[in-house]
Amino acid sequence: MNKIKNILAITFAIILIYSCGTSNNSFIDDFDHEAQALIDNDTLVQFLKNHYYDLSSDSIKLVISGKVALYEEIQTMSITENEINYTLYYYVKDAGTPNLDKGNPTVMDSVFVNYEGKRIVNTDSISKPFEKNINIWFTLDRVIGGWTHGFTNFKGGDNITGNGPITYENGGKGVLFIPSGLAYANSGSSSGILPNQCLVFHIELNDIVKDTDHDNDGVASIFEDPDKNDNPKDDDTDQDGLPNYIDSDDDGDGTLTVYEDANGDGNPMNDFNDPNNPSLPDYLNPVIK
């Protein structure tokens, strides 16, 4: 199973670089991203006040008398990226009620999704879809920040594929409303997304790979986070430029992490053999090889 998770992660990472950008906006320009975040939030709030979710057509429409504005039903997440605070808005049509409950994906897990992306043109107007896909895998660490965090609010469904096409039921379903700073920021994208444009994604979460292990070393990517700041991308124990979650020898001592498993239970996280440093697992401790 670990091997499958690893293969999935690599395959999907390649797709993602071309299809959805990355969440590592480097922000090396002198653009005022903080000011843009405030503008985007005003846009999103007003857009949500001006629209409602039409359940019968699964679409977003201008609010009319008798309908409840999305703003009254919306949920929010506070996200900090590149030291800028963002609010991600998401509408839950169905959080997901699978018979086989794998839990929610983490920000490092692989997800199997259907989606349709639209641009917020202005607070009264939304574009036609600029991109849509069904039954496509992504790893949430390699997509725009709005996706990375947004999908963690939903559960995958049940695979009921028989002899026919791939089919899922009971998966999470909803809409993500994403500020530009958690999408394509001030650069936009070749698929017609303008700089500083807020995006809307209708999403369905068909399935997830829980505890995705990018480097197949027995430590799930979400746990390759020694500084425990919920971001495994900034941890590089041996400082070789490869973050731990994609480094097969985390402490750079020449013994692969997968073999730093003295008790042989397949989990390198529970092996502690340095009496001088009893709380540091062997795979992060170059003294223990």
Using CB under 5 A as the criterion, which residues of the chain lie in contact with Ca ion when the complex forms?
A: 213, 215, 217, 219, 225, 227, 229, 231, 234-236, 238, 240, 242, 247, 249, 251, 253, 255
Burial status of residue 186 (CB atoms within 10 A of its CB: 0-12, 13-18, 19 or more)? middle
For residues 120 and 104, give the distance between their C-alpha atoms in angstroms, rounded to a whole number: 28
- The least CB distance from residue 139 to Ca ion, in Å, is 12
In the complex, least distance from residue 110 CB atom to Ca ion, rounded to whole angstroms: 13
Q: Taking the complex as a whole, how short is the minimal distance between the CB of residue 13 and Ca ion, in angstroms? A: 14
CB of residue 269 to Ca ion, shortest distance in Å: 10
Closer Cβ to Ca ion, 16 or 219, answer by number: 219
- Residue 78 or residue 229: which is nearer to Ca ion going by CB? 229
Nearer to Ca ion, 107 or 178 (CB): 107
Smallest distance, Ca ion to C-beta of residue 45, A: 31
Q: What is the DSSP string of 174-185?
A: EEEEE-GGGTTT
- Residue closer to Ca ion by CB (options 2, 127) is 2
Least distance to Ca ion, CB of residue 132, Å:
32
As a whole number of angstroms, the distance between CA 264 and CA 200 comes to 47
CA–CA separation, 148 and 107 (whole Å)? 5
- The DSSP result for 39-88, as a single string, is HHHHHHHHHHHHEEEETTTTEEEE--TT---HHHH-EEEEEEETTEEEEE
**Rounded to whole angstroms, how far apart are CA atoms 267 and 263?**
9
**Quick one: 140 or 178, whose CB is closer to Ca ion?**
140
DSSP sequence for 101-154: ------TTSEEEEEEEEEEEEETTEEPPPSEEEEEEEEEGGGS-HHHHHHGGGS
Instruction: Report which residue's Cβ sits closest to Ca ion.
Output: 247
Tokens 């500020």, residue located: 179
Closest distance between Ca ion and the C-beta of residue 187, in Å?
26
Q: Which is nearer to Ca ion, 165 or 278 (CB)?
A: 278
Length of the chain: 289
Nearer CB in complex with Ca ion: 94/236? 236
